[in-house]
Amino acid sequence: MINKLNAIELGEEQVDILLKVVSDVQGRMNKLKEERERLHQKCALLRTDIGAKASPGEDGEVLRLWLQHSDVFIDTLHQHMRRVLAVEEQLSSYIH
């Protein structure tokens, strides 16, 4: 795919559009990274709070399980973000 793209001559307008897309993707990825960290911090605080306050009964266990799954969800989201970053890096390499 790289060879095909390198063989295509892009006009100034197309390059400007690609640069704008790459910049937009980078901005969105930075926001997603910040959000991921914020969510992990919230989960850690909730886990600590629940561990201290939750009764050992069924309700406390349900909350603990939910928090474990929320961490898995956040990590899965991060894996998708890394894939998008890889695509963004490829786009960037085509332009530079």
Q: Would you list the domain boundaries of the chain?
A: 24-95
Both tokens of 69, joined, read: 């799954």
Of the pLDDT bands very low, low, confident and very high (cuts 50, 70, 90), residue 1 is very low
- pLDDT tens, position by position, 12-65: 787 788 788 878 888 887 887 788 788 778 777 776 776 666 666 666 677 777
pLDDT attached to residue 5: 53
pTM above 0.85, yes or no: no
Contact 50, 63 (CB under 8 A): yes
Q: How confident is the model at residue 7 (pLDDT cuts 50, 70, 90)?
A: very low
